[in-house]
Amino acid sequence: MLFELGVNVTTARAVIAHARTLAPGKRVTHLITSHNHFDHTAGLRQAVAEGLTIVQRRGSEPQYRDMVAHAAPDFPDDLARSPKPLKFETVDEQLRMSDDTQTLEIYWARNNGHMADVLVGYIPAERILMEGDLVTAAFDWQHWPDGFRDVVSKYNLNVERISPVHGVGLEKGQPTLTRAQAEDLLKGGTQRAREHCKAEVAKGNFHPGCPIQSKYY
C-alpha cells in the first residue's frame, strides 16, 4: 500500500515502480490519499492507470471520479492513453487493513478546517503515524494545530514517530519526525500564526484561518 502519491505523473510512476521492488512477490494494490487537495492527488490518475484501489472518505468519491473521468487533452497521461475504471474503497470512521506481516489502521481525523475528509494511517507495531497536512503543512503557520492531538486522543494511539508527506521539520537525512519534534513544530507554528493574524488584523486584513482556535497550544 502507498500513503500519498503527489507531485506529478512522472514522479508518481517512479514511486509506484520503486514500491514494487520493496517486497518481492507482493503487489502494490492500494493508494491512500490523506485528502483531496491538488498536491496530494497529483498521482491519482497514474495510480488508477496502474490498477490501484484508491482509499478515501466517502465524501471525496464524486470528486475523484470526476478527476479520473476527465483527462487534460494538452497533457496526455497513461490513464488517457489506456482508460481504466476507478476502484474506490471508502472509509467512514476507520478501516483496518492487514496481512500476515503487518496491520495498518486508517482513521478519519475529524474537525479540521483545512481538510474535512482527512485520513491518517497508523502502524501499531511501529507506533508510526502517517499524515498529510495534519502536522507538517507548513513551518511558519499552524492554522489548525489541534488535529494531531485530537486524532491521537480519539483513537487512543501510541504515536512515537510521524511520517510526513511534506518534509517540514525534518533534518537532513531524517526519515520521520519524533513526537517531540512534532509538538515543537505545532507549538511554534501556532504562536507564529497568532502573531501573523494579529499583524494582519492591524492592517485591516482578515486572513483565512484567523483567529487561531486551539485548546492545546
Distance CA 34, CA 36 (A): 7
pLDDT tens sequence across 60-74 = 999 999 999 999 989
Q: How confident is the model at residue 59, as a pLDDT?
A: 92
Average pLDDT over residues 105-115: 92
Is 183 in a helix, a strand, or coil?
helix
- Amino acid 208: pLDDT: 84
Residue corresponding to grid cell 487537495: 37
Q: What is the pLDDT of residues 113-130, one digit of tens each?
A: 899 999 999 999 999 999
Cα 128 from chain centre: 14
pLDDT at position 207: 86
**pLDDT, tens digit, 9 for 90 and up, residues 170-204:** 988 999 999 999 999 999 999 999 999 999 999 99
Degrees, nearest 5: CA angle 4-132-215? 160
The helix (run of H) or strand (run of E) holding residue 10 is: helix 9-19
- Contact between 61 and 23 under an 8 Å Cβ cutoff? The reply is no
Residue 25 — pLDDT band, cuts 50, 70, 90?
A: confident
Tell me phi and psi for residue 97, to 5 degrees.
Answer: -130, 135
Pure H helices in 27-122: 38-41, 44-49, 61-69, 78-81
Domains, the chain, ordered by start: 1-92 (3.60.15.10), 94-114+122-217 (no CATH)
DSSP state letter for 117: T
**Rounded distance between C-alpha atoms, residue 112 and residue 39, angstroms:** 18
Q: What's the start-to-end Cα distance of the chain, in Å? A: 34
When pLDDT is cut at 50, 70 and 90, the band that residue 43 belongs to is very high
Segments in 52-155 forming alpha helices (H): 61-69, 78-81, 147-154
What digits encode the pLDDT tens for the residues 91-101? Answer: 999 999 999 88
pLDDT per position as a tens digit, 10-23: 999 999 999 999 98
